[in-house]
Structure 1
Amino acid sequence: MGGPIASLNPLNRADGSASYKCVSTGSNILGSVNAPIELPGRRDALKPEEATIEVFVKPGTAPGGVGERYIEGVIRNALGRLILGRENGYPRRGVVITLAIVGGESVGRGGSYLPLLPALLHTAALALLSASVPLSMTLSATVLAVDSSGEIIREPSVKDAKAATSLHALAFTSKGQLLLNESEGAFDFGTWETVYERALAICHGTSTLSSDGDVAMTENVDSQPLEGVLRDTVQDQIHSEYAWKIDAA
């Protein structure tokens, strides 16, 4: 299975931006962040001591609906736990995150957004880093489907998600803590525990005990852990921007 393809700063007129493409599902997300900014006409919604987070999901060229409003709330709640909204310059200001679905399988009216949720979260996190928005930690997320035979499908397509018995989107912080858990369908606690362990391995790898007794996270059997993919994307951007300084040294 091919890993995701991510890049920073594809847009010139945003404070920060990122693109993220998941090869397995074909989802292609373009995100932008503007922060800190004034929110005209929203003084009643501004928080006096921290940032006000606004998230907008744009489904290609189609107008947004109930599904987009729901997933915007899910993303806003998850990112609100990461953004340090009390930092200098952010109280009573806005952090506006716009996520546009520019390719891949689209979500039909009334369809589930869970298959696209990890790509949306990764794009938002990378765009926030690109905009230098202060974060307490980062995140990594994945979606798993469970079919009628109990088999777990990693990053299912929209078609696979519709045929699945249950669908689970989980996100973890960079410290390995469960940040988000959204599930649909019928399942028992044993199934969820199996899904949780698989999702944790996908996002952070499997833990191994080295000869000196230290616990290290290694690549899982599927591919490089998603946390490493996001970290490598940021490191590559830093290297490209400061290559002249590194070469001069």
Structure 2
Amino acid sequence: MMGGPIASLHPLSRADGSASYKCPSTGSNVLGSVNAPVELPGRRDALKPEDATIEVFVKPGTAPSGVGERYVEGILRGALSRIVLGREKGYPRRGVVITLAILGGESIGRGGSYLPLLPALLHTSILALLSASVPLSMSLSATMLAVNPSGEIVRKPSITDARAAASLHVLAFTSKGHLLLSESEGRFNFDTWDKVYENALAVCHGTSTLSSDGDVAMTENMDTQPLEGFVRDTVEDHIRAEYAWKVDAA
């Protein structure tokens, strides 16, 4: 059985926040840093008077950035801008700078699809933002599903599965269970997309029920933990390790 993702918080000492994330199924290995709130020199004309400006930079490991990186940066910026509370004190007219370096896994050639890397980039971003204590309205979790030529949905598709798929789908959900992002490639119909949605929601949230505060209460999903629970556990484990001395001294 293929293991789940591996993540850690604050691997970089000189960033306000940072995270690393590795997805075994695709081999995606991403290191991310966040600096916020910061001045954005030379961009005063682009600053928002009442909100923070989100900047995202994707750096491929062995090649210069190109059109593919600019495209996925736009996707990430749009999704993250919806959950960053950029109007909190100290953030308006300043920037939240997210840098994502692709360290390993199969490289994306020029003109290749970035969908297999998108969940890892999203998870690294949200963990780095949490590490930097950037105010957020909610967290997120994301997954990629493949639909093979027979119409079967493949969870945790490998790069080989993705290349052979009739269609690929990346969906991200907020911690409240709302669809935040949907990106698809290939040919599919509405019935297929509905099945993809239900499977993606199960992967991210498992069997879910709404709690009194509107958040999603998660349970175990088949043989693996829901991704939303993985994100929360990663943050909780880091906090527990950071403040273990206080617990021991109590």
So what's the TM-score if we normalise by structure 2?
A: 0.95
Partner of 2:163: 162
Aligned residue pairs, count: 244
Q: Tell me how far apart the structure 2 counterparts of residues 122 and 229 of structure 1 sit (CA, whole Å).
A: 10
Partner of 2:97: 96
Query: Quick one: percent identity of the two aligned structures?
Result: 80
Partner of 1:53: 54
Partner of 1:212: none
1:208 Cα offset (Å) = 7.1
- Please list the CA deviations of residues 150-202 of structure 1 after superposition, one character each: whole Å capped at 9, or x if unmatched: 11112323332222101100000000000000011100000000000000000
1:217 Cα offset (Å) = 2.9
Partner of 1:179: 180
SS of residue matched to 2:92: coil
Partner of 1:67: 68
Any gaps of 5 or more consecutive residues in structure 1? 210-214
Partner of 1:147: 148
Q: 1:153 corresponds to which letter in structure 2? A: V
Any gaps of 5 or more consecutive residues in structure 2? 211-215
Q: Tell me how far apart the structure 2 counterparts of residues 17 and 181 of structure 1 sit (CA, whole Å).
A: 25
So what's the TM-score if we normalise by structure 1?
A: 0.95
The equivalences for 1:96-245 within 5 A come to: 96-207=97-208, 217-245=218-246
Partner of 2:213: none
Q: Tell me how far apart the structure 2 counterparts of residues 144 and 248 of structure 1 sit (CA, whole Å).
A: 46
Q: Tell me how far apart the structure 2 counterparts of residues 216 and 93 of structure 1 sit (CA, whole Å).
A: 35
- Flag the 1:59–1:222 CA change in 2: closer, same or farther, 3 A: farther
Q: 2:119 corresponds to which letter in structure 1? A: P
Q: Tell me how far apart the structure 2 counterparts of residues 227 and 130 of structure 1 sit (CA, whole Å).
A: 16
Q: Tell me how far apart the structure 2 counterparts of residues 86 and 205 of structure 1 sit (CA, whole Å).
A: 32
Q: Is contact 1:71–1:113 with CA below 8 Å preserved after alignment?
A: yes
Q: 1:144 corresponds to which letter in structure 2? A: L
1:240 Cα offset (Å) = 0.7
SS of residue matched to 1:206: coil
Q: 2:153 corresponds to which letter in structure 1? A: I
- Flag the 1:202–1:92 CA change in 2: closer, same or farther, 3 A: same
Q: 1:218 corresponds to which letter in structure 2? A: T
CA RMSD of aligned residues (A): 1.4
Q: 1:171 corresponds to which letter in structure 2? A: A
Q: 1:200 corresponds to which letter in structure 2? A: L
Does residue 53 of structure 2 align to residue 22 of structure 1? no
Q: Tell me how far apart the structure 2 counterparts of residues 31 and 64 of structure 1 sit (CA, whole Å).
A: 16
- Please list the CA deviations of residues 67-99 of structure 1 after superposition, one character each: whole Å capped at 9, or x if unmatched: 110100000000000000000110000000000
1:216 Cα offset (Å) = 5.0
Q: Is contact 2:79–2:181 with CA below 8 Å preserved after alignment?
A: yes
